[in-house]
C-alpha cells in the first residue's frame, strides 16, 4: 500500500521547527522547482556550532517530522563526523553543516539560480 504524500509546505514547516527547537543557525530555504534536472524541489540549509549541535539538529528534525507528520527521512548520511549531515526526505533535502564546512562548499552559490529565502529566527 502506497503511503499518502505529505504536503511539502507542511514538511518544510516541520523541518524548520525542528531546527529552531535546538537553535540551529542561518536557516536558508532554496526553491529548486524552476531549475531543470534537480534531485528534489527544495534544499533546507542550516548550521550548528559543533558536531554535538549538528547531531542535535538532525535528531530534533527527525523527532519533529515524526511527531507532526508521521514521516521519516528516506536516507541520512554524515552523522559519524557531523560536519555535514544530509537528510533526504525525497522532495526536500536538508543539509546541516558546521559553519566552516558550509562556507567551504557554499551550496547557496552552487545553486545560485534557485529562489533563496532566509528564515528569520527569534534567538
C-alpha cell at 114: 534557485
Q: How far apart are CA 6 and CA 103, in angstroms?
A: 32
Who contacts 99 (Cβ-Cβ below 8 Å, separation ≥6)? 25, 47, 49
SS (H, E, C) 82-107: CCEEEEECCCEEEEEEEHHHHHHHCH
CB-CB contact of 102 with 28 (8 Å) = no
pTM over 0.85, yes/no: yes
The CATH number of the domain covering residues in 8-110:
3.30.460.10
Tens-digit pLDDT profile for the chain (123 aa)? Answer: 344 578 999 999 999 999 999 999 999 999 999 999 999 999 999 999 999 999 999 999 999 999 999 999 999 999 999 999 999 999 999 999 999 999 999 999 999 999 999 999 988
Among candidate residues 19, 111, 4, the one with its CA nearest the CA of residue 65: 19
Q: Return the bridge partners of 75, or none.
A: 88
Amino acid at each position: 500500500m502506497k503511503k499518502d504524500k505529505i504536503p511539502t509546505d507542511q514538511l518544510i514547516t516541520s523541518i524548520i521547527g525542528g531546527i529552531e527547537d535546538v537553535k540551529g543557525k542561518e536557516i536558508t530555504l532554496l526553491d529548486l522547482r524552476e531549475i531543470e534536472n534537480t534531485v528534489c524541489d527544495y534544499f533546507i540549509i542550516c548550521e550548528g556550532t559543533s558536531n554535538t549541535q549538528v547531531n542535535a539538529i538532525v535528531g530534533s528534525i527527525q523527532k519533529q517530522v515524526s511527531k507532526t507528520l508521521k514521516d521519516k527521512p528516506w536516507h541520512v548520511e554524515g552523522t559519524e563526523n557531523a560536519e555535514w549531515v544530509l537528510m533526504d526526505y525525497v522532495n526536500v533535502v536538508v543539509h546541516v553543516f558546521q559553519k566552516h564546512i558550509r562556507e567551504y562548499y557554499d551550496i547557496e552559490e552552487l545553486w545560485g539560480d534557485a529562489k533563496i529565502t532566509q528564515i528569520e529566527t527569534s534567538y
